[in-house]
Structure 1
Amino acid sequence: MMRVSVVGNSGSGKSTLARALAVRLGVPYVELDAIHHQRDWQPIPISGFRTRVAAATSGSRWVVDGNYSAVRDLVWARADTVVVLDPPRRAVMRQIILRTVRRVAFRVELWNGNRERWRNLFTRDPNESVIVWAWHRHSVYRDRYLAMANDPRWRHLTFVRIQSRKDIRRLLNSVRPAA
């Protein structure tokens, strides 16, 4: 495990696990959201996104956190492992609600000056509310990544499905830095 892609629903624990894996492996951590979301939540143009992700994954060891289909081919072509975060919906919803309220209440800066807004807690628009997004995308991500694990295009990858905190502990305890 030297080049790892960590994927899953918003609120599933991707960033927390990806950071912990990067520390455990002693490798760079790459957060796709930090590259994608520019100031005022403006997305980086696809060509720039792909260029920056290609550069970030050009090394021999890294952990990438994120689901962006626009760069999945780049990341997965270079990866050796895909860790799929797939906890139950109730766990994701508990985590995403608590995380979002904390970020809004304490005005936590996420990426490039962006912060979550109070109004996003109360909208039902999945493009504005990460909570609504996570509710609607839960089974989409599960189905997508289970199918991809069986897709011959990705047979070079080892897929690791994480469904619980116990699975997370087991994975982290099994990881040793490369010599």
Structure 2
Amino acid sequence: MERILVVGVTGAGKSTLARTLSTRLGVPYHEMDALHFGGPDWAVNADFADDVARLTAQPCWVVDSLGYPEVRDLLWERADTVIWLDYPRRVVMARVLRRSIRRSVTRELLFGGNRESWRGWLSREHPAWWSWSQHGPRRREIHRRVGDARFAPLDTRRFAHPDDTSAWLATL
């Protein structure tokens, strides 16, 4: 495990797991949302694809994303390990709701100097709405990619519940 891609739906805990893996394995962690959103008002980093290509050319890394469309194949091609947090919708939604409420209340500073807001809850791009609507499609996409010969051989670890992930982490 040197080039690790942590995947799952929004709110599954990808970033938290990726940070933990980075610390335990001594491998650099790269947060895709932080690389993608380069400025205020959720502005997209114009150099995003180049930045991802550069960091994934390194021998060791941990990335937390199914992957934005412009870098998705690159991430899957360069990874040697995929950790799939394949949690049920009830688990993911509880997590994403707690996180978004906390961020809205505390006005927590996020990538590119952005913050979640109460008004943002009305947008279909809000993490809670996104997680709900994308749960099925994202799971199908990951399942398809795991079985895709273009990305073989990948060491794939699929966890159906946070307890399974914790048990595996304890073995590292």
Indicate whether the TM-score tops 0.5. Answer: yes
Worse overlay, 66-75 or 32-41:
66-75
Residue 42 in 1 paired to residue 43 in 2?
yes
1:28 matched residue in structure 2: 28
Q: TM-score, normalised by structure 1?
A: 0.90
For 2:30, what is the secondary structure of its paired residue? strand
Matched residue type, 1:112? G
1:165 matched residue in structure 2: 162
Q: CA deviation at 1:174?
A: 2.8
Whole-angstrom CA distance in 2 between matches of 1:157 and 1:126: 33
2:54 matched residue in structure 1: 55
Whole-angstrom CA distance in 2 between matches of 1:140 and 1:16: 22
Whole-angstrom CA distance in 1 between matches of 2:168 and 2:57: 25
1:109 matched residue in structure 2: 109
Deviations 1:41-70 (A, max 9, x none): 01123xx11110112122211100112121
Matched residue type, 1:126? R
Worse overlay, 29-38 or 67-76:
67-76
2:137 matched residue in structure 1: 140
Equivalent residues, number: 170
Q: CA deviation at 1:76?
A: 1.9
Q: CA deviation at 1:171?
A: 2.4
Contact 1:24/1:172 (8 A) holds in 2: no
For 1:70, what is the secondary structure of its paired residue? coil
2:15 matched residue in structure 1: 15
Q: TM-score, normalised by structure 2?
A: 0.94
For 1:69, what is the secondary structure of its paired residue? coil
Structure 2 residue ranges without an equivalent (≥5): none
Residue 152 in 1 paired to residue 149 in 2?
yes
Structure 1 residue ranges without an equivalent (≥5): none
Contact 1:6/1:84 (8 A) holds in 2: yes
Q: CA deviation at 1:150?
A: 1.0
Whole-angstrom CA distance in 1 between matches of 2:85 and 2:104: 24
Q: What is the aligned-residue RMSD (CA, Å)? A: 1.2
